[in-house]
Amino acid sequence: MTTDFIKTAVIGHPIAHSKSPLLHNHWISHYGLHGEYKAIDIAPDNLKAGIQALIDDGYTGFNVTVPHKVAIMDLCDELSDIAQEIGAVNTVTIQNGKLYGTNTDAYGFIQNIKENIQKEWHFNNGRALVLGAGGAANAIIYALIEEGVPEIILTNRTREKADTLKSLSPEKITVVDWEERNAACKNTNLIVNSTALGMCGKPPLDIDLSLATRTTLVTDIVYAPLYTDLLQQAQNHEMHIITGIGMLLHQARPGFEMWNGVMPEVNKTIENLILN
Ligand code: ATR
């Protein structure tokens, strides 16, 4: 571990809402490290100059959020295999002025499930239903395939976007129309909401889980509110649920380790810090 002051950040536009500074600065202080993690607003037409300013200021690395996750790829000198597969970067390390980009969203999604599942539940027990086909869905589908999910039913309001995502694994992914989402709950081992529906200020996710079974695990990437309507409905059906906050916390860990040399832990105290 170095004694240098380690500068890190999250870049996005807008960025004021980001929980990442709270999380990273908590870890920096908890592990007695010397550094600071800032939220830096960079407008899309200023991305290249904004990144150069971070390099010139001696930053060690940064997280990338909306709307830069795809655009940053062109500015990276090297990309991890996973970033190339997912087609987006959320974590960048700067070394000797060069940018190394990777993606930890799939890791965050999987770790959240692995830490919270019941013993008898396994990814390869059956098919998964993924709702949504945006950037988050891309990482989630990648993760599900890596974990051995045998079949993925993908549905999205704009069907063409789901059809495009099918290329991640044409033999495993079946696209169904958004209007078929209730019927698609049948015979599922896992149901994932990867859309922003159900988030505070967004429209609700209109879905009926009646055809799913009690062994279906239901999870949501939305964590505000923590218990979304989807998760509450699943609980009413006595299904097992996993909230979305763990994905946010776990995706942050590999970047923190790359920059600070410590793999930070996630626990209830941190969860409450971020949620309150
Ligand atoms: P992210 O990159 O964070 O996943 P995104 O790319 O904007 O964000 O994707 C948002 C997802 O929510 C998409 O699947 C989107 O569906 P479309 O591809 O049809 O836009 C979905 N979504 C957003 N608002 C929706 C709505 N009112 N009804 C159904 N799906 C919606």
DSSP states along 228-246: -HHHHHHHHTT-EEE-SHH
**What is the 3 state secondary structure string of 43-62?**
CHHHHHHHHHHHHHCCCCEE
Residue nearest to atom 2 of ligand 1 (CA): 135
Burial class (CB in 10 A: 0-12, 13-18, 19+), 202: exposed
Give me ligand 1 centre to Cα 162, in Å: 11
Beta-carbon-side half-sphere exposure of residue 81 (alpha carbons within 13 Å): 1
CA distances to 75, 95, 116, 118 from 98, rounded to whole Å, are 9, 5, 37, 43
Ligand 1 centroid distance, CA of 134 (Å): 6
Q: Which of 17, 192, 195, 228 best tests ligand 1's pocket when mutated (most atoms within 8 Å of CB)?
A: 195
- Distance (Å) of CA 177 to CA 66, 163, 232, 243: 27, 10, 24, 26
Strands across the sheet containing 35-41: 35-41, 6-12, 61-64, 91-95, 98-102, 78-79
Q: Quick one: which atom of ligand 1 is closest to the CA of 158?
A: 19
69 is catalytic: yes
CB-side neighbour CA atoms (13 Å) of 111: 18
Predicted confidence band of residue 4 (pLDDT cuts 50, 70, 90): confident
Expressed in angstroms and rounded, the spacing between residue 244 Cα and the centre of ligand 1 is: 16
pTM over 0.75: yes
99 token code pair:
């940018």
Q: Which residue in the list 7, 38, 48, 69 is annotated as catalytic?
A: 69
Question: At 218, which helix (H) or strand (E)?
Answer: strand 217-220
Question: For the segment 49-86, what is each residue's pLDDT rounded down to a tens digit?
Answer: 999 999 999 999 999 999 999 999 999 999 999 999 99
3 confidence band (pLDDT: 50, 70, 90): low
Nearest protein CA to atom 5 of ligand 1, as residue: 134
Q: First and final CA of the chain: distance in angstroms?
A: 31
Dist. CA 186–CA 216, nearest whole Å? 9
Tell me which H or E stretch contains 202.
none
Instruction: Return the best residue to mutate from 157, 164, 251 for the ligand 1 pocket (most ligand atoms within 8 A of CB).
Output: 157
pLDDT tens column, 227-271: 999 999 999 999 999 999 999 999 999 999 999 999 999 999 999
Q: Please give the Cα distance from 51 to 226 (Å, whole number).
A: 33
Residue nearest to atom 24 of ligand 1 (CA): 197
> In which residue are the tokens 């995502």 written?
165
User: Residues near ligand 1 with C-beta < 6 Å?
Assistant: 132-136, 156-158, 161, 195-197, 203
Closest Cα to residue 247, out of 64, 131, 89, 107? 107
Ligand 1 centroid to residue 194 C-alpha, Å? 8
Q: How far is the CA of 196 from the centre of ligand 1 (A)?
A: 6
Edge-to-edge, what's the strand order for the sheet holding 152-156?
A: 173-177, 152-156, 127-131, 188-193, 217-220, 240-242
Q: What is the pLDDT of residues 153-184, one digit of tens each?
A: 999 999 999 999 999 999 999 999 999 999 99
Nearest in space to 230 (alpha carbons), one of 109, 123, 110, 131: 131
Closest C-alpha to ligand 1, atom 8? 134
Of all protein residues, the one whose alpha carbon is nearest to atom 7 of ligand 1 is 134
